[in-house]
Amino acid sequence: MATLPNPLPKLATLGLDLPPGKLIDTLLWHADVPATPGDWATLQPARRTAGLLPLLIDVGGSQGGPEAWELMPDETSYPGDHDAEEVLAEYWEDTEDDDWPGLAPEPQPESDSPDPDALATDIADHLLTDGTWLKEPRLALVPARRSADIPAAIGWSGPVNHEDDVARLCAVLRSWEDRFGVRVVALTFDQLILSVAAPPTTPAEAQAVAVEHYAFCPDNINQSSTPSLNAYAEQLMDLEIWSFWWD
């Protein structure tokens, strides 16, 4: 795999209109001031001119900001080296006796489906407006080939109790990016929040996606108030935000 040049060390010379912020080991930059609705859209020039992708991070949890998150980029492989279905099947077979049922089919495109990047902007604004998702949100920029690779690009260790090489999970995110138009919108110490431009719209589609979610993050179901795959699937229909939390 060819390594992309990292523009973060030269961030100050790129002519971007950014608020005061800091670099975290050249893995990411994040603002020092709280993020507000509308801020995500201001980062789009960074994507076009420098290949830096926008992200919201939460610095308000008990673990603090990313400088205290035990980021492990040197222990992270490349998402493109893994097959999403093989990864999910392995997770599934580790916890279930039934055979892996296969990937959920890609939904039929809808004429009114939103653009994935435009929806990510809207979801970021929603997270910042709602006030219940993130305690102290900050804008961030990450050098990554695609949104699905962001956790691997920074060596995020949030799912370490489930998977110690987050690139394998990013391989699944790449598949979801292709099939469901997901974008990585926010990270906390142990939570991943995605926007979803093409969510399941039928019970059958939702059930198939729920199986993938269970393999990807069993805690989403096992530690929920309704630990049932069927109940979880019902919540996924037309849902434009997917969130995952690992204990």
Q: Which domain holds residue 137?
A: 8-96+111-199+240-245
Determine contact, residues 194/63, Cβ cutoff 8 Å: no
Instruction: Tell me whether residue 219 is in a domain.
Output: no
- pLDDT score, position 3: 59
Calpha distance 53→120 (Å, rounded): 12
- pLDDT score, position 2: 45
What domain count does the chain have? Answer: 1
Instruction: Tell me whether residue 154 is in a domain.
Output: yes
Per-residue confidence band for 238, with pLDDT thresholds at 50, 70 and 90: very high
Calpha distance 154→27 (Å, rounded): 5
Contacts of 54 (CB under 8 A, 6+ apart): 40, 43, 44, 46, 47, 120, 124, 139, 140, 141
Structural tokens at position 204: 């059958």
Determine contact, residues 88/179, Cβ cutoff 8 Å: no
For residue 159, count CB atoms less than 10 angstroms from its CB and return exposed for 0-12, middle for 13-18, buried for 19 or more.
buried
- pLDDT score, position 1: 46
% of residues, the chain, pLDDT over 90: 79
User: What predicted TM-score, i.e. pTM, was given to this entire model?
Assistant: 0.95
Determine contact, residues 108/200, Cβ cutoff 8 Å: no
Instruction: Tell me whether residue 68 is in a domain.
Output: yes
- pLDDT score, position 95: 86
Determine contact, residues 245/218, Cβ cutoff 8 Å: no
Q: Identify the DSSP state of 81.
A: G
